[in-house]
Amino acid sequence: MTANQRFNPIRKGLLEFLILQIISADKVYVAEMMSRLQDTDFATQEGTLYPLLSKMRREELVDYEWQESDSGPPRKYYKLTAKGKSQLSEFKDYWDYLNTTINQLGR
């Protein structure tokens, strides 16, 4: 992909919704999210992800529960709240709308 510098703000803004999408399938913990994003244009690091997740939790889009792991300390597993789910579907609709708008304007 051509990752133009001008698109940086777009990518940054989209990250939140990508995380909603990742969590939507099943509850996940941070390392798993990062490995999913690893090979995409949205590769990110703990330093960015933890503050973002805490912000999303404050906005009640996601919630987490502690779960024991076989190796190491218990992990925070994140899941979508009802509000997060509606936010995600709203986002998808809006994304489709944006797509059609962009494509139609060119004609």
Partner 1 sequence: MNTVIIINLNGNAFHLEEPGYQSLRAYLERAQSQLQENPDKTEIMADLEQAIADKCAHFLRPHKNVVSASEIEQVLGQMGPVETDGAQSPESSAAKEQPRAQPLDWDAPRRLYQIREGAMLSGVCTGIAAYFNIDVTMVRILFVVLALLTGGIWVLVYIAMMLVIPFANTDEERAAAAGAPFNAQEVIDRAKKHYGEFKNSKEWRRHWRQQRREWRRRWHDGAYWWAHNVQQNVHQFSAHSGYGAQLVAGLLIPFLAILSAVVFCLWIVAIVQLATSGAIFGWAIPASMPLWVSILILIFLYSAVSQPLRHARRAFYFNTGGYNYSWFAALDGLLALGVLALVCWFSYTHLPQVHDFFQHFNENWQTMWNNIVDSFRRTGVAIGLNRIAESV
Q: What is the DSSP letter of 69?
A: -
Residue number, 43 or 96, with CB nearest to partner 1: 43
Site for partner 1 in 17-36 (CB under 8 A): 30-31
| Interface region with partner 1, contact rule CB under 8 A, candidates 19-27, 51-59, 80-88, 89-97 | 51-59
Residue type, 53: L
Quick one: CA torsion of 87, 92, 94, 99, rounded to 10 degrees?
160
Task: From residue 10, give the alpha-carbon distance in Å to each of 4, 50, 80, 90, 100.
Answer: 10, 20, 23, 18, 18
Q: Which is nearer to partner 1, 73 or 106 (CB)?
A: 73
Q: Is 8 in the site for partner 1 (CB under 8 A)?
A: yes
Q: Is the distance from CB of 63 to CB of 71 less than 8 angstroms?
A: no
Mapped onto helix, strand or coil, the DSSP state of residue 80 is strand
Assigned token pair, 88: 């995600």
Minimal distance in Å, beta carbon 3 to partner 1?
4
70 forms part of the interface with partner 1 (CB under 8 A):
no
Among 27, 36, 57, 79, binds partner 1 (CB under 8 A): 57
List interacting residues with partner 1 (CB under 8 A).
Answer: 1-5, 8, 30-31, 38-39, 43-48, 50-52, 54-55, 57-58, 72-73, 76
